[in-house]
Amino acid sequence: MTVVQGTAVDIVTEDGTADAYLAHPGDGAPHPAVLLYMDAFGLRPRLRAMADRLAGAGYTVLVPNVLYRHGRAPVVELPEFIDPSARPDIFERLGPVMQALTPERAMRDAGAYLRWLAESPSAADGPVALTGYCMGARLALLTAGTYPERIAAAAGFHGARLATDTPDSPHLLAERITAELYFGHADQDPALPEEQQERLEHALSAAGVRHRCEVYPGAPHGFTQADTAAYSQEADERHWAALLDLLKRNLMGA
């Protein structure tokens, strides 16, 4: 069994300092790097546990608090079990914070995260993979299109606003992407309606991007997050199988 080391780290960006969590195998060797983009609820025990699981599979994993401009994690106080229907105030407070993270700011930050990994002795030389959840799936797609020379693979799960009709929609970067992509969509997800799923699929296919997009039947938005009311164990395990397969193929050469 792989021993995993997890530590809190700070990453200097052009706009401040982002707090983050770093997990990696405890063997002292560099390992292929994965940048894990958080969901709206942010850097918390669940995401650290997900990073640890990836590290146990042989990767160095960085999980930044992408909302650092509004404070260190947790940006808003969270209960141990998150049920937005019982606590609508959580999204009321998070909404303006998420909206303040424009694509321009997010991609400046992404450059800082990628530079930090390139300089980290825990991360192997070479391209990086991405995985993102909810808003993080959007960030993963934006990053794959903004830094194509650095990204070998990118995955997104129960993604939100991946292919909108706005001029800053991430699907519009499809022609720049060289990574292999995988998306696991939540079923009947208001954050990614069928029209956006079709728009994303068309854009990636037209650009010749290696990709697979799948809808997880019966899985609600947020299905990977075990500390929320949206969790689906079946869909979560399907996500892990797809993610680990993508990473192994693109970072481990298998």
Taking only the tens place, the pLDDT of each residue in 112-160 is 999 999 999 999 999 999 999 999 999 999 999 999 999 999 999 999 9
Q: What integer pLDDT is reported at residue 85 of this predicted model?
A: 81
* Tokens matching residue 87: 């606590």
| Residue range 178-210, pLDDT digits in tens | 999 999 999 999 999 999 999 999 999 999 999
Q: What is the mean pLDDT of residues 32-55?
A: 98
Kindly list the structural domains of the chain, giving each domain's residue range(s) and its CATH number in brackets, ordered by start: 4-251 (3.40.50.1820)
Q: What is the rounded CA–CA span in Å between residue 159 and residue 40? A: 11
| Residue range 56-93, pLDDT digits in tens | 999 999 999 999 999 999 999 999 999 978 778 888 89
Q: What integer pLDDT is reported at residue 13 of this predicted model?
A: 98
Q: What integer pLDDT is reported at residue 122 of this predicted model?
A: 98
Q: What percent of the chain has pLDDT over 70?
A: 100
Whether 254 shows a pLDDT value over 60: the answer reads: no
Any residues with CB less than 8 A from the CB of 103 and at least 6 apart, and which?
142, 168, 170
Q: Alpha carbon of 230 to those of 47, 183, 219: distances in Å?
A: 15, 18, 8
Q: What is the mean pLDDT of residues 19-41?
A: 97
Span of 49-53, 77-81, 236-240 with lowest mean pLDDT:
77-81
Q: What is the rounded CA–CA span in Å between residue 154 and residue 196? A: 18
Any residues with CB less than 8 A from the CB of 153 and at least 6 apart, and which?
129, 130, 179, 180, 181, 182, 246, 247, 249, 250, 251
- As a whole number, the mean pLDDT across the chain is 96
Q: Which of 180, 197, 42, 167 is nearest to 103 (CA)?
A: 167
Tell me the HSE value of 208 on the side-chain side, using a 13 A CA sphere: 3
- Select the more confidently predicted residue: 223 or 89: 223
Q: Which of 6, 107, 96 is nearest to 66 (CA)?
A: 107
Q: Are strands 128-133 and 151-157 parallel, antiparallel or unpaired?
A: parallel
Find the helix or strand (DSSP H, E) in which 202 lies: helix 194-206
Burial of 192 (0-12, 13-18, 19+ CB in 10 A): buried
Evaluate if pTM is beyond 0.85: yes
Cβ pair 75, 67 in contact under 8 A: yes
Whether 219 shows a pLDDT value over 70: the answer reads: yes
Residue 86's SS3 state is coil
Please name the amino acid found at residue 72: R
Q: What integer pLDDT is reported at residue 1 of this predicted model?
A: 72
